[in-house]
Amino acid sequence: MHITDPRQVSVLPSPEALAEAAARRIDEAARAAIRARGAFHIALAGGSTPRRLYRRLAESPFAEAIDWSHIHVYFGDERAVPPDHADSNYRMAEEALLSRVPIPREQIHPMRARPERIETDAASYAELLNRCLPREDGLPRLDLALLGVGPDGHTASLFPGTPVLEERQRLVAPVYVERLQSWRLTLTYPVLEAARGLLFLVAGSDKAPIVHRLFREPETGAPALPVAAIRPGGEVQWLLDAAAAEGLQP
């Protein structure tokens, strides 16, 4: 996924403006999906930038305008920690958004990730996706997946040098991140590529180097960064704050 279309990229002046733009995009996507298919299926991301977005969605006008009764929530990845742990992506989303809007609890689908049962938990979440998501071309299809990009080019929990980057059969797979000494679960490339939309949220000066590499450096014969290896079948949009967008400079 080498970015060549400038229409895919929006630069916002601050993290707050980025959160506002992302909230508007989600509102629009939810309205369109509910109008067309009766439901909106979204995969959430972890991290500080999505937290700001989730808090904004829980405020007026979005809290009142979005039809939460037709929203179905999934997760793009999760750390192998209990759901009430400070590092849990589910806990962050629950505190910032899910507990603050009238979304039916049965339409919230956390990832359960336990180190001692990581393979079983991966298979269980894949089964859930197959059961709950509409299918097209043999794959379950999200309406929108929220994603970030790490300084090393990872997205979701698709980390450089991990075997999950070669996974094309399973929908959900375990990942052991050596430098973090921890297990995670992640959606795999086939699920992300089948989504109707991917929305990347990138904020902070520490992301400027990876933005430069993704947007400005030519692709070479070296292994692609995990985020660059996505071959999306749907719409892609990047929202950058001004600090991350410094990487767009030549």
pLDDT, position 130: 97
Cα angle: 166, vertex 73, 207; to 5 degrees: 55
Cα gap 16→24, rounded to integer Å: 13
Sequence ranges of the domains in the chain: 6-248
**Residue 24 — pLDDT band, cuts 50, 70, 90?**
very high
* DSSP H or E segment with residue 18: helix 15-37
DSSP-derived secondary structure letter, 38: S
Closest by Cα among 164, 226, 230 to 195: 230
Q: Contact 108/68 with Cβ under 8 angstroms?
A: no
pLDDT, position 221: 59
Q: What is the mean pLDDT of the chain?
A: 94
pLDDT, position 245: 95
pLDDT, position 250: 75
pLDDT, position 3: 55
Cα gap 232→147, rounded to integer Å: 13
Token representation of residue 141 = 């299809």
Strand ranges (E), 125-234: 135-136, 139-140, 144-147, 172-177, 182-187, 197-202
Token representation of residue 98 = 């899910």
pLDDT, position 210: 95
Cα gap 131→125, rounded to integer Å: 10
Range 6-248 has CATH code 3.40.50.1360: yes
Q: Contact 80/183 with Cβ under 8 angstroms?
A: yes
pLDDT in tens, 159-172: 999 999 999 999 99
pLDDT in tens, 38-66: 999 999 999 889 999 999 999 999 999 99
Q: Which residues contact 105 (CB under 8 A, 6 or more apart)?
A: none
DSSP-derived secondary structure letter, 122: H
* DSSP H or E segment with residue 199: strand 197-202
pLDDT mean over 8-18? 96
Q: Per-residue pLDDT for 88 more than 60?
A: yes
The percentage of the chain sitting over the pLDDT mark of 90, rounded to a whole number, equals 88
The percentage of the chain sitting over the pLDDT mark of 70, rounded to a whole number, equals 95
| Cα end-to-end span (Å), the chain | 19
